[in-house]
Structure 1
Amino acid sequence: MPVESDEELREALGGRRVAVVGASTTEGKAAHEIPKYLVEHGYDVVLVNPYADEMFDRDGVAMVWHQLGITNDGTGKRVEESGRKFVQDHCMKVEHDRLLG
């Protein structure tokens, strides 16, 4: 069930680590200003933007992983064109256990 009450929202905001998928390097866009605001307010923000090597003095992601059952070839193409790795339709836990476990 989605979080909706003020009490639940307050509790969710108390978690100080958050991923922002689709973070933007373009100032003025909400996808830039919101993660910037969160960083300025002490959150540990993991920025997910397959085209950015760094934002707000934080490293960008080196790989995009879509879990089992999730595919998007368009995203994969853009990620690979940006020089990053792209995995889709694989469970990270299963693959970790199988290959590194």
Structure 2
Amino acid sequence: MSEHLWDEYRRIIGGARTIAVVGASAEPGKSAHEIPAYLLRKGFNVIPVNPHHRRVLGRPSFASLLDIGEPVDVVDVFRPAPETPAVARQALQIGARALWLQLGIVSDEARDIAEAAGLRVIMNRCLGAVHAELELAGEPTRTT
């Protein structure tokens, strides 16, 4: 993997305090549950976004990004690729700084929407795994 890509991961994760997780799951064992739980344990303010749950990981869950009443740094997405352009548009509306599509999720349209507005975009990579790799390498994983 290129050093440029690792630099981008460092900038996104290191500068993040609040991560909204679109598609967060209340079911232990699912990646959409385990990754937000990991991020919580690492000190991030995790905001679940899932209209089918009132609470996820003991935290209030919002129906959409537009319902969140606080600043969000990173929007982490656990939804199918066809849904991600709408998520990218909402990420822009709430002033997020980065759009992160989880492992297996790729959308050129979502990337184009987000990048055109200046958001950093990562696709097809697990945020939790990248964070863990940065920690193992002795990288600072929080700057705020």
For normalisation by structure 1, the TM-score amounts to 0.56
Match of 2:25? Answer: 24
CA drift of 1:65 comes to 6.3
Greater RCO between the two (CA within 8 Å, min separation 6)?
A: 2
Equivalence for 1:51: 52
- Matched residues, percent identical? 38
AA at the equivalent of 1:52: H
- 2:49–2:65: 8 Å Cα contact kept in structure 1? no
Letter in 1 for 2:56: M
* Number of residue-to-residue matches in the alignment: 65
TM-score, structure 2 normalization:
0.40
The aligned residue for residue 70 of structure 1 is none
Alignment of 1:1-101 (within 5 A): 5-14=5-14, 15-61=16-62, 63-64=63-64
Which amino acid counterpart does residue 6 of structure 1 have in structure 2?
W
Q: 1:86 aligns to what? A: none
Match of 1:89 in 2: none
SS state at 1:35 partner:
helix
Over 2 Å off, 4+ runs: 63-66
CA RMSD between the two structures: 2.4
Summarize deviations over 1:32-70 as a string: whole Å, max 9, x none.
Answer: 100010011101111011111112221111x4367xxxx
Task: Name stretches of at least 5 consecutive residues in structure 1 with no aligned partner.
Answer: 67-74, 76-91, 94-101
The letter for the 2-side match of 1:9 is Y
Q: Name the CA distance, whole Å, in 2 between partners of 1:9 and 1:64.
A: 25
Query: Would the alpha carbon gap of residues 65 and 56 (structure 1) be closer, same or farther in structure 2, given more than 3 Å must change?
Result: closer
Query: What is the rounded CA distance, in whole Å, between the counterparts of 2:49 and 2:56 in structure 1?
Result: 10
1:5 partner SS: helix
